[in-house]
Structure 1
C-alpha cells in the first residue's frame, strides 16, 4: 500500500472535522438562497412592492426608510433578485392605491348622513395643520371614521380660511354634511356660520368639559397645590439620581414601580393623571426628598408639599376622575356618543359636583365653579335644551328615550318638537291609518 500514513491522516482529519462542524466535507450546507429557483417573477416582484408600500403607509414611515443600508441588506438576503424601486416609482404606486381607496370610501359615503370633526393642531416641528375626519354609518350598520384630509395650514387660522378648507374638502369628496363638530374657538364658530353646506354644528363636548375643569383648576388654592405638585414631578423628571432613588424606594416600600407624569396645558386630563400618579407614589417620593444623600436641603425645602396640600390632592382626585372619564367617553370613535351627552352632564352637575360636608373649602369652591361652568356652557337649565340635537338623539336612544333627567316642561317640549320633525319628514302615519 502506497502512502499509508498520509491517507490515514487525511481520513482521520476529515472525520474529526465532521464531528466538530456537523457538516460533511463532501457536501455543502444548503443556504436560503439555494431555494430561489430562477429569476423573480413579475407577480412576486409586484407583491413585494405592495408589501413595502403597505409597510410605509400603515406604519407611517418615510420612503427613506426603504433606502437604509440595513434594510436593503435584509431584502437582498431574503430576495436577492428583487431591486427596491426608486422613490418616484414607489410614490406613484402609493398614489394609485390612495386613489383606489379614496374612490371606495367616497362611494361608501354616498347618500349617507355624514358628520365631520375638525381639528387645528401643531406638530412637534411647530408646523400648523388641519385635520378633517368624516363619521358615518354604513348600510350594514358599521360606524366608520375616515380621515379625509390632514394638511399644513400656514395661513392665519381665521374663520374665512378655515371655512375655505372645509368647503374644499366637501367639494373634493362630494358628500352632504349633516353636522360638524369643532372646538370652541370663536374663529371656528364663525367658520361654521360661513359654510352654507353645514345645516348643524356643535362644539366639542370633551373640549367644553375641559374648559370647565380648567376654570376650577385656576382657583387660587387649587392652582397653588397643583403648582407644588408640578414642581415635584418636574424634579423627578429632570434628575436621573432622583429617578434611580425613587425606583429603589418603590421596591423597598412595595409600591408599584411607576414613573411620575407631568401635565401639559394642551393635553386633556393630564393634570388629573399627574395628581393621581403623584399621590400613588407619595411615600417613596417623600422618602427620596427626605434623603440628604439624594436631595439637597435647599431643593428639599422648595419641593416639600404641606400636609394640607396632600389632603387637597386626595379629595380632588375622585372629583376629577369622573370628569376625565366623561371626556374620554365623549371623544370615542368606536361608539355614537351624542345621545348620552346630557344624561352624563346632568348627572355630574347634580351628583359628582354636589358639595359634601366633608369637603375642604377649596374642593367645594372647585365643585361649584365647574358646575356653574357646565350649566352655562351647555345651557343645562335653559328651555332651549329641548331644541338641541343631543336631546333629539336621546329620545331616539332606548336607554334615555323617556328623558327622565329633564324637567317636565322641557321634556314635553322636546317630545313635541321630535313629533313635529318626524311629521315634516313624512314618516309618521296618522292614527288609525293602518287599521290597527
Structure 2
C-alpha cells in the first residue's frame, strides 16, 4: 500500500481511513484499497467526470494513474429538465397506485436516500427478489448484528422488554427489545434482538428458557438490570425464575384500569362503535356526514374506530363523536338502528374529562426516544390529583409520592 500511495495520483480522490480502506471524497463510500484497481473502477463507474485516466508504467515498477483535476461539473447538481421530471413523477404515481404503496412512502427518509443514491448511479440495476431474500438481506442483517453486538459490549447495563402475540394465522410469537444508554451520545438506544415463533407451551419455565437463550446469544448475561413485561402472570414468573428484576408495564396497568372502568358503560361503547363502523363502511353515509360537517361548519375530522386491545382508541372515538355530535345526529336521522339517546350522549361527554388524563399519561409513558421509567411516580401522582379534582371523594384516598397520606 505504501508503494501505491507514493506513486499514484488516485489518492487525490480518496482519503485513507484504515490500513486497507479508503473513503471516496465525492460520495463518502468506504472501499477496500488492497488493490489500486478497485479504487480506479470506483472512479470510472461512479465519478467519471472527476478524472481523465492515463495509465502509465512507472520506471520503478508500480502502475499509477495520472488524472486531470476534478471538474466543477462533478460537484454541481444540475437541475432535472421539466419534461424528465414529469416523466419520473408519472412513474412514481404508477408505482404507488399499482403496488398499493402508502402515500407516505415519499416522506420516508430511507426511500429519499435510496432515490438520491440511485440518481448518482445511472448504471445501477435492481436485484431480483431471490437475490434480495437469499443474499442481500442476510448479508446486511449479519453486518448490523455485528455492529449491535459491539455496541452492547460497550454498554455497562441494559434493560429488556418482552411481549407476545398471536398472528392472524394463529401462530404465537415472542419479541425481545434491548434498551441502553449510548455512552458517547448519551441517547437512549433500542434494538429488537428477537422476534420469533414460539411453538412451546406458554409455561413460566419455557418462557424463562426462551429469555435465557436470547440473553446468552447476545452476550448479556451479566448486564440485564431489569426486564419489563405486561401484567400476565406467566411471563412475570418467568422473569423472576431467571433471577431478573421484574418491571410491570405502567401503560399496560393503566390499560387494565381503564378497561375495567369502561365495562360499566359497555352499552354506550357498543352503540358508539357501531356508529363509527357504519361511517367507515358506508360510502353514502360518509358523504352525508361530510356534507353535514360542511353545512354546520364543523371541523373536517373523521370518526375513530374502537380497538379492543387499546383503550386509547375508545377515548378518541368518544372525543370525535362529541366534537361532531350535531353532524352525526343529522346524518343518522333516517337510521333508527344507530341512535344514541340523550342519556348516552351525557355519558360520553361525562366520561371524556375522566379519560383524558389517562390518555395523556399513556401517550407520555409510551415515548420511544427517551427514558420513561423515572416518570412513573410523578405521572401516577398527577393522575391521582386529576381524579381528585373531578371526584372530590377520591381525595380521602390519595397517597403522596413519598407514601404519606394526603
With normalisation by structure 2, the TM-score equals 0.65
Does residue 101 in structure 1 map to residue 144 in structure 2?
Answer: yes
In 2: Cα distance, 1:125 partner to 1:279 partner: 37
Structure with the higher helix share, 1 or 2 = 1
Q: Which residue of 2 aligns with 1:54?
A: none
Q: Which residue of 1 aligns with 2:227?
A: 180
Q: Which residue of 2 aligns with 1:244?
A: 287
Which shifted more, 345-354 or 210-219?
A: 345-354
- For residue 346 of structure 1, report the CA deviation from its aligned partner: 2.0
Q: Which residue of 2 aligns with 1:312?
A: 347
In 1: Cα distance, 2:44 partner to 2:248 partner: 49
Structure with the higher strand share, 1 or 2 = 2
In 2: Cα distance, 1:243 partner to 1:45 partner: 58
Report how many residues are paired: 292
Asked whether the 8 Å contact 2:354–2:390 carries over to 1, the reply is no
In 2: Cα distance, 1:262 partner to 1:81 partner: 44
Asked whether the 8 Å contact 1:159–1:187 carries over to 2, the reply is yes
- For residue 244 of structure 1, report the CA deviation from its aligned partner: 1.2
- For residue 127 of structure 1, report the CA deviation from its aligned partner: 3.1
- For residue 143 of structure 1, report the CA deviation from its aligned partner: 0.9
- For residue 87 of structure 1, report the CA deviation from its aligned partner: 1.7
Q: Which has the higher contact order (CA 8 A, sep 6+)?
A: 1
With normalisation by structure 1, the TM-score equals 0.60
Asked whether the 8 Å contact 2:177–2:190 carries over to 1, the reply is yes
In 2: Cα distance, 1:177 partner to 1:205 partner: 19
Q: Which residue of 2 aligns with 1:394?
A: none
- For residue 86 of structure 1, report the CA deviation from its aligned partner: 6.4
Structure 2 SS opposite 1:303: coil
Does residue 169 in structure 1 map to residue 204 in structure 2?
Answer: no
Q: 1:284 aligns with which of 318, 324, 327?
A: 327
Q: 1:405 aligns with which of 396, 401, 404?
A: 401
Does residue 192 in structure 1 map to residue 227 in structure 2?
Answer: no
Deviations 1:266-308 (A, max 9, x none): 1241110111111111111111111xxxx3xxxx332211112
Deviations 1:3-47 (A, max 9, x none): xxxxxxxxxxxxxxxxxxxxxxxxxxxxxxxxxxxxxx9759999
- For residue 206 of structure 1, report the CA deviation from its aligned partner: 0.2
Structure whose alpha-carbon radius of gyration is higher: 1
Deviations 1:320-378 (A, max 9, x none): 11101111211212111111201211221233355448xxxxxx9xxx6xx99xx9xxx
Q: Which residue of 1 aligns with 2:160?
A: 116
In 2: Cα distance, 1:127 partner to 1:351 partner: 41
Q: Which residue of 2 aligns with 1:337?
A: 372
1:281 to 1:146, Cα distance in 2 relative to 1, 3 A? same
Does residue 301 in structure 1 map to residue 307 in structure 2?
Answer: no
* Alignment of structure 1 residues 8-407 onto 2, 5 Å: 43=42, 79=122, 82=125, 84=127, 87-88=130-131, 91-110=134-153, 111-140=155-184, 141-175=186-220, 176-196=223-243, 198=244, 200-219=245-264, 222-290=265-333, 295=334, 300-356=335-391, 405-407=401-403
Structure 1: gaps (5+ residues): 1-40, 48-58, 60-74, 358-363, 382-403, 411-436
